Structure 1
Amino acid sequence: MLHWLAAARAALVPAAPRPDAVLVDLGCGAGLLAPHVAGKGYRHIGVDRSPSALRQAAEHGVQPLAGDVQAVPLPAEFADCVVAGQILEHVVDLRAAVAEACRILRPGGLLVLDTLAATALCRVVAIGLAERLPRIAPRGVHDPALLVDRDVLVAEAAQHGVELALRGLRPSLRDLVAWSALRRSSVRMVPVRTTAVLFQAIGWKKG
């Protein structure tokens, strides 16, 4: 499922606004975003705490940088685009992670996020159900206590100059059925009205 989300995340990233534009991928993991943004003109820097993940990301053309998303080892106003996909629901200090994402973003730069909401519905769907389905999510990967409070997310980003717009996301049911029957290798993510389970957030930094 992480591959499907990477494709949906990349769809929100525009072409690089200038020749030396930088995209910072927070919690980059194995670099799943890289193939989807490779043609958009950015220098792609991936930040992660895992040495093995960074090695895999480098194989995809990502410039690896060891670091924590709650204390990113980059200067302020460094990136033209900052993305953080499926990482905020794993951090202990959400406010710090959001503040750091905004800090390293240039004025006029774009912040793109996707994560899981702190709701009872999300706990049922993303943890109770998804973690029990084969090939969707490993069991125990999510801590219910770390799911993301949407109000806190929006308020913290606004405090640092980024007004976020949220939209819900889910797998295409038709694609999911075909994928389950091994007739399709990937599944499109489609927008939905509710942000109570999986959602994207996007916003431009003022300046």
Structure 2
Amino acid sequence: MLSMRRNDPRQYDDLAAEWWRPDGPFAMLHWLAAARAALIPPAGASGGVLLDAGCGGGLLAPHVRGKGYRHVGVDLGRPGLRQATPRGMTPVNGDVTALPLAGGSADVVVAGEILEHVTDLPATVAELCRVLRPGGLVVIDTVNDTALSRLITVTLGERFGVVPAGLHDPALFVPPRRLVAEFARHGVALTVRGVRPSLADLFRWLVLRQAVTGRIVPTFSTAVLYQGTGRRRHA
């Protein structure tokens, strides 16, 4: 029986010590962070700001270190931000529906594994686009709203320990068509592709219980997980 309602942000506070355990409940989030970082090019000669919206424990930080950005992470959970701070990220306590950044201040905006948790998707997308400079890059990944994603992410995922019980509310899962339309309203043409974990890595982690530096690879289907990238058009 769940001790909190589904998708309660306090769960992340309770699990803060697990963020950096390679064999812990957030292991696959490390794999997704690496795949997300692969979509982010190095900053220009003058540097730039990378906003990590819903940054959690800062899992993206080691993968973008050396790319030349000032890495700013925004999250509701202070325990997670305390985990992120030693990783070289500038932590900011805040809500993704009201980001505490100036308009057009970020060169790259990243929203990884957060959009399936927000209760106001239009407001969140509007904020991500507001803080992105014209020509800037947005990078997202999230969970599709399908029967297959609910089976894998919630029913099986929770049963086999892939994700902690109650972490997701499937009512908040986001179909790609809706997300593309929301970004288009704010001048960002989002292109999406399906992704999945490497099956060999998943087997080693789930069945053999090995600490794995797992890979997320492209797939033909967006039915469960998908990534998206897009640039904000110039005025």
Q: Please indicate, yes or no, whether the TM-score normalized by the shorter chain is above 0.5.
A: yes
How far the C-alpha of 1:139 sits from its partner, in A, is 1.1
2:178 aligned with 1:178, yes or no? no
Larger CA deviation: 185-194 vs 75-84? 185-194
Residue of 128, 132, 139 corresponding to 1:105: 132
Give aligned-pair identity as a percent. 57
Q: CA RMSD in A?
A: 1.1
What SS class does the counterpart of residue 40 from structure 1 fall into? coil
Q: What CA distance in whole angstroms lies between the structure 2 residues aligned with 1:150 and 1:95?
A: 14
Q: Is the contact made by 2:201 and 2:212 (CA closer than 8 Å) also made in structure 1?
A: no
Residue of 132, 146, 149 corresponding to 1:119: 146
- Matched with 2:64 is 37
- Matched with 1:89 is 116
Q: What CA distance in whole angstroms lies between the structure 2 residues aligned with 1:169 and 1:70?
A: 26
How far the C-alpha of 1:184 sits from its partner, in A, is 5.2
Q: Is the contact made by 2:196 and 2:219 (CA closer than 8 Å) also made in structure 1?
A: yes
Give the aligned residue type for 2:166.
G
- Matched with 1:147 is 173
The alpha-carbon distance between structure 1 residues 138 and 7, as it changes in their structure 2 partners (threshold 3 A), is: same
Q: What CA distance in whole angstroms lies between the structure 1 residues aligned with 2:171 and 2:218?
A: 25
Per-residue Cα deviation, 1:134-176 (whole angstroms, up to 9, x for no partner)? 3x21011100111113222111101111100101111111122
How far the C-alpha of 1:18 sits from its partner, in A, is 3.8
- Matched with 1:157 is 183
- Matched with 2:84 is 57
Q: What CA distance in whole angstroms lies between the structure 2 residues aligned with 1:119 and 1:178?
A: 27
How far the C-alpha of 1:183 sits from its partner, in A, is 4.8
Give the aligned residue type for 1:24.
L
What SS class does the counterpart of residue 39 from structure 1 fall into? coil
Per-residue Cα deviation, 1:161-200 (whole angstroms, up to 9, x for no partner)? 1100101111111122223324552210111111111110
Q: Is the contact made by 1:35 and 1:60 (CA closer than 8 Å) also made in structure 2?
A: yes
Q: What CA distance in whole angstroms lies between the structure 2 residues aligned with 1:156 and 1:177?
A: 36
Q: What CA distance in whole angstroms lies between the structure 2 residues aligned with 1:101 and 1:169?
A: 22
List structure 1 segments (4+ residues) > 3 angstroms apart after TM superposition. Answer: none
Q: Is the contact made by 1:79 and 1:104 (CA closer than 8 Å) also made in structure 2?
A: yes
2:159 aligned with 1:129, yes or no? no
Give the aligned residue type for 2:74.
V
Q: What CA distance in whole angstroms lies between the structure 2 residues aligned with 1:21 and 1:53?
A: 24
Q: What CA distance in whole angstroms lies between the structure 2 residues aligned with 1:52 and 1:119?
A: 32
Q: TM-score, normalised by structure 2?
A: 0.85
2:43 aligned with 1:16, yes or no? yes
- Matched with 2:192 is 166
Unpaired runs of 5+ residues, structure 1, are none
Residue of 97, 101, 107 corresponding to 1:74: 101
Q: What CA distance in whole angstroms lies between the structure 2 residues aligned with 1:106 and 1:84?
A: 16
How far the C-alpha of 1:38 sits from its partner, in A, is 0.4
Unpaired runs of 5+ residues, structure 2, are 1-27
